Structure 1
Amino acid sequence: MANHKSALKRHRQSLKRRARNRISKTRIKNSVKAVRAAIEEKDLAKANEALVEATSVLDKAARKNVIHASQAKRRISRLQTAVNKIEA
């Protein structure tokens, strides 16, 4: 454990950030899972609705640097492609 005052503060901050990031990553996983479940059921309306939610969650996570912006774009793109396939 750190002894310097600044190192103790950094440790406290890292714990807060870790908790915040874990919450955000869990939301990402759940929203992506909802889209994939709707795709499996071939329910287009449900898939589009879940995709809008997942897009919002991924973009928000990228803005807050929980995940990289390119990763968010890639995931959104892949989900959109999957939804488009059931539409065709």
Structure 2
Amino acid sequence: MANIKSQEKRILTNEKSRLANKAFRSSVKTAVKKALSAKAEGSKEKDALINEAVSLLDKSVTKGIFKANKAAREKSRLMK
């Protein structure tokens, strides 16, 4: 454990952000899976699900959770 007070605080904030990033990453993966399954089934709401997944992927890049190439690859996969 850290001996410096500011480092102890930093450890706590890092843990909070790690958990928040993990939750957001999970929601993005879920949205992508839903969109891909709706696309495979030919569902009516597939366009809405794809748009939602693309939006979440773009947000993840701006938040620094995913790299730009990964988001582009996932979006391309959804649009095929």
Q: TM-score, normalised by structure 1?
A: 0.83
SS at match of 1:36: helix
Which residues in structure 2 correspond to 1:28-43 (within 5 Å)? 28-43=28-43
**Partners in 1 of 2:36 and 2:69 — Cα distance?**
20
Which residues in structure 2 correspond to 1:8-87 (within 5 Å)? 8-43=8-43, 45-81=44-80
RMSD: 1.1
CA deviation after TM superposition for structure 1 residue 32, in Å: 0.4
Q: Structure 2 regions of 5+ residues with no counterpart?
A: none
Q: Structure 1 regions of 5+ residues with no counterpart?
A: 82-88
**Partners in 1 of 2:75 and 2:68 — Cα distance?**
11
Q: TM-score, normalised by structure 2?
A: 0.91
CA deviation after TM superposition for structure 1 residue 40, in Å: 2.1
The match for 1:3 is: 3
Question: Match for 1:52: what amino acid?
Answer: N
CA deviation after TM superposition for structure 1 residue 17, in Å: 0.8
**Partners in 2 of 1:6 and 1:47 — Cα distance?**
48
